[in-house]
Amino acid sequence: MILPAILVISVIAFFPLFETFYDSFYSFSLRPGSVKRFVGLMNYERLMEDPRFIAALKHTVFFTVVSVFFETVLGILMAVVVHQKFPLRGLVRAAMLVPWAIPTAVSSQMWRWMFHDQFGIVSKWWVKLGIISPGTPILGRPSLAMWAIIFVDVWKTTPFMAILILAALQVIPEELYEAARIDGANAVQRFFKITIPLILPTIGVALIFRTLDALRVFDVVYVMTRGAVGTETLAVYNRHVLMGRAFTGNWFGYGSAISVAIFVIISIFAVIYMKSLRLKFD
Amino acid sequence: MKRLTLVLTLVLITAVAFSIKITMTSGGVGKELEVLKKQIQMFNQIYPDIKVEIIPMPDSSTQRHDLYVTYFAAKQPDPVVLMLDVIWPAEFAPFLEDLTKYKDYFALDRFLPGTVKSVTVNGKIVAIPWFTDAGLLYYRKDLLKKYGYDHPPRTWSELVEMAQKISKAEGIEGFVWQGAKYEGLVCDFMEYLWSFGGDVLDDNGKVVIDKGDAAVKALQFMKDLIYKYKISPEGVTTYMEEDARRLFQNGKAVFMRNWPYAWSLLNSPDSPVRGKVGVTVLPMGPGGRHAATLGGWVLGINKYASKEQKDAAIKLIRFLTSYHQELYKAVNAGQNPTRKYVYQDSSLEKAAPFMVKLFNVFINALPRPRVANYTDVSDIIQRYVHAVLTNQMDPQTAVKKMAKELRWTLGQ
């Protein structure tokens, strides 16, 4: 049973990964007749000197750290709330998942309209609350656009975090809390001494999922700003290199190098999580 | 009787054996798809043996571009007939069938010269213009009259003056256009640049954007529309065509720059500005000329298709770009013909009078830079123009950097 599994994984996962690695050492394009030229590490040296890549890297890491932080904190809170018994709990749990269920391209477009300077509902509220002055284009301001994108991502993926954590909450035996209560632990102590340690492995897995997703974020940025006003992420830049320059110049190897860079950054984050949360996967 | 059955069977067998299936990509904006399906039915009355299957494409032009990249990179024989944006022929030329020898069959000398230019790559014809587009100025006839103007603005300064006066008195926006960072921004920028007497590339393809001060002045003017004259909302830096149209259609703006498609929507039964809208050529700049960016779509043939499929595709394209079919499409889908003489047809004048009235705009529309790596050229323009519009860079620096990057990209 293991052999077919390995075979399938190697075909659908390792082969493209290996090919991308391989391509990143070459200079070529997808134009017919383009000759693949081995250039060693040149594409990677170029990456280090590409201001657009460096900027995109910064934007991506900022987006990832901030959005995943809020998603985790809010996700835990949300999970704890829906873990309680209250009327219509099943309905609330289902409704909670709605943002997660809408395709990102659709919900991003929806939010783009809500951020519209003239008839956007969010703009209207923010003006009323005094956060922005009337007529401010939220997605056209360098200081605001990235936060708006993060806001949408948090709105969309917090439910995913919550559902994962809720599953972990449900397997914590009630006796533990009872014992703690008898020993005189208050609610805050019970939360930090029992709940958090027991859901930590799940949070770790959820963090890896979310971080991985956030580091290759594309659709929400592409639909809302196309990478304008300091929101260009690595994946958005990479689309331009791989698709926009597929047949011109010799950029395909360079685009592959960007893909490898995204892969490496994701791996670094994954290792940090695994080490710091002492996760074991075997 | 027996003989008749035999003959009929033979006819049937030949019909089946010689019938051929080809695929064609098409957009689905408005009535586009519906109209095309009717056209294919008409085509099949003449060529019953060619079966055409339509592959609908996403609305976003960039998504269509990326789909084609995947098709071509995979060397797929399908789709056979390709609906291409007017800016792609140079980039996709290696994958398109050379149609130069069919020049006369398609009667290309009867097409608008700008559209023919856009499908000519290194002297070769790689596609046939299907419908065309040009940037236009929409204005509120009723408001202009109310404030004592008997004609639409002829120059940008006239537009600024009218927009300031009317928008202040009416409490609405003065002028909306496309200022988001995407292809539409390039179209708008080119119009300002040309009307100020500049260009991005000269006729030999050399970068000339930093020659003279036209580009700096054009950029400064675009910026001034927002921050100095305050006739455009700061939000134009996030507007695409539909954002501008919605504002204008709800009576919230005096002027709008948009494509011809907006006309029928602005005059639809439920439109608040129905009958109150005029449309004309974009104003002249100090460079002394009106300018409109050429848009539109062309039909090419996939090089990896079989010989029989290509022959069938040529017949289909010839049919779709014929006089009567272009007229049919213009009347029913509101898409501008690429053939000159269709504009003289009385039935077009009845269905879409502005097309006939503005023939001069369509025949004089200018193409964006025609280079193979246009996506890079466009990306550079988008980034720097948008940086100026959002106050992140001054026009002088932007033009200097733009020129430098363009030269580097084009290997000059």
Domains contained in chain A, CATH given: 18-49+245-282 (no CATH), 64-231 (1.10.3720.10)
Q: CB A159: neighbour CB atoms within 10 A?
A: 24
pLDDT score for B29: 75
Residue B287 in this model has a pLDDT that exceeds 80: no
* pLDDT tens per residue, range B10-27: 555 555 556 899 999 998
pLDDT of amino acid A270: 86
Longest C-alpha distance within chain B, in Å? 88
CA distance B303 to B75: 9
As a residue count, chain A comes to: 282
Which ranges in A84-218 belong to alpha helices (H)? 89-96, 98-101, 104-114, 121-128, 142-170, 174-182, 187-190, 196-215
- Tokens representing B194 are 């040309």
Question: Which of 1.20.1250.20, 3.40.190.10, 3.20.10.10, 3.40.50.460 is the CATH number of B136-291+373-409?
Answer: 3.40.190.10
**pLDDT score, position A282:** 53
Q: What is the pLDDT of residue B6?
A: 60
Please tell me if the domain spanning B19-133+294-364 has the same topology as the one spanning B136-291+373-409: yes
- Which residues, in sequence order, are bridge partners of residue B284? B155
For residue A88, give the amino acid letter: L
Q: Which residue of chain B is at minimal alpha-carbon distance from A141?
A: B390
In angstroms, rounded to a whole number, what is the distance separating the alpha carbons of residues B400 and B407?
11
Q: Do B69 and A243 touch (CB under 8 A)?
A: yes
Paired strand residues for B336? B132
Q: Nearest Cβ partner of B94 from A31, A118, A249?
A: A31
Q: Kindly state the DSSP code that residue B293 receives in the 8-state scheme.
A: B
Query: Is B386 within 8 Å of A116 when comparing Cβ atoms?
Result: no
Q: How far is CA B374 from the centre of its chain?
A: 15
Contact A246 B373 (CB under 8 A): no
Q: What are the boundaries of each domain within chain B?
A: 19-133+294-364, 136-291+373-409
Q: With an 8 Å Cβ cutoff, is A31 touching chain B?
A: yes
pLDDT over 70 at B215, yes or no? yes
Tell me the pLDDT of chain B averaged across its residues. 91
Q: What does DSSP assign to residue A119?
A: T
Q: Give CA–CA dist B265/B247, Å, rounded.
A: 13
pLDDT score, position A88: 86
Task: At B13, list the tokens.
Answer: 């067998």
* Residue of chain A whose alpha carbon sits nearest to that of B68: A243
Structure-token match 């690695």, residue found: A21
- Check residue B389 and give its pLDDT: 96
Specify the pLDDT at position B15: 55
Contacts A–B by Cβ distance under 8 A:
83
pLDDT per residue over A79-122, tens digit each? 988 888 888 888 888 888 889 888 998 999 999 999 999 889 99
Contact B368, B190 (CB under 8 A): yes
Q: Does domain B19-133+294-364 have CATH number 3.40.190.10?
A: yes
pLDDT tens sequence across B104-116:
999 999 999 989 9
Question: Measured at the alpha carbon of residue B10, what is the angle toward residues B8 and B11, in degrees to the nearest 5?
Answer: 65
B116 in Cβ contact with B86 (< 8 Å):
no
Q: Which residues of B fall below an 8 Å CB-CB distance to A?
A: 65-66, 69, 72-73, 91-92, 94-95, 180-182, 233-235, 237-238, 243, 246-247, 252, 372-373, 375-376, 379, 386, 390, 392
Looking at the complex, report in whole angstroms how far the Cα of residue B1 sits from the nearest Cα belonging to chain A.
57
A86 versus B380: which is more confidently predicted? B380
Q: pLDDT at residue B386 above 70? A: yes
Residue type at A219? Answer: D
Contacts of B161 (CB under 8 A, 6+ apart): B153
Pick A245's closest partner by Cβ from B95, B246, B375.
Answer: B375
Residues within 8 A of B (CB atoms), A 108-147 only: 115-119, 135-137, 139-142
The confidence score (pLDDT) of residue B155 equals 94
Strand order from edge to edge, sheet including B136-140: B173-176, B253-258, B136-140, B277-280
- pTM equals 0.88
pLDDT of residue B11: 55
Among B269-278, B280-289, B320-329, B402-411, which stretch is predicted with the lowest mean pLDDT? B280-289
Question: Residue A135 and residue B234: Cβ atoms within 8 Å?
Answer: yes
Q: How many angstroms separate the CA atoms of B214 and B220, rounded? A: 10
Q: Which residue has the higher pLDDT, B125 or B6?
A: B125
- The partner residues of B125 in beta bridges, in order of sequence, read B120
The pLDDT value given to residue B18: 65
Model ipTM?
0.86
A127, burial (CB in 10 Å: exposed 0-12, middle 13-18, buried 19+): middle
Position A279 pLDDT exceeds 80: no
pLDDT at B17: 57
Q: CB of A105 within 8 Å of any CB in chain B?
A: no
Give the DSSP letter of residue B179: -
